[in-house]
Structure 1
Amino acid sequence: MIRCIEATQLLSEKLDRPLSKKEKVNLGIHTAMCPACRQFGKHMLILRDVSQRYVSQTGDSEDQTPKDR
């Protein structure tokens, strides 16, 4: 079984790439038994959603910086 640090790493990577079958199984087993990691995964999804909505509302402005005051 994987540890929480490995599970949180996989939960983060899951947002960027497809996980292997082995990773999915290990993560599924771990999150089934670990409420903290389940909650972390939910928070990661919320943060991704909020970030995407923010970018879509402000326009994709990676190269823009705030104006000097």
Structure 2
Amino acid sequence: MLNCKQTTVLLSQSQARRLSRKERLLLRLHLMFCPHCRRYRKQMAFIRQSMRQWVRDK
């Protein structure tokens, strides 16, 4: 199973590339049990969406 540091790296990499099946499985497994990494994923999504909106509104 992944630790939190490995999970945050994979979450970041998932923005730039498609993760392998194994990486996706390990990521899902970790996220099922770790509320901190789930919160980090939500924060990343919020920032990404906010930046997209900011670029559109410019």
* 1:10-67 C-alpha deviation (Å, 9 max, x unpaired): 1111122111101000100000000000110011011000001101111xxxxxxxxx
For the pair shown, the structure with the greater C-alpha radius of gyration is: 1
TM-score (norm 1): 0.79
Query: After TM superposition, where is structure 1 displaced by more than 6 Å over at least 4 residues in a row?
Result: none
Give the count of matched residue pairs. 58
Q: Which protein has the bigger helix share?
A: 2
Runs (5+) with no aligned partner, structure 2: none
In the TM superposition, 1:1-69 aligns within 5 A as 1-58=1-58
SS of residue paired to 1:24: helix
* Aligned mates of 1:55, 1:17 — CA distance in 2: 22
Higher relative contact order (CA 8 A, sep 6+): 2
* Aligned mates of 1:53, 1:46 — CA distance in 2: 10
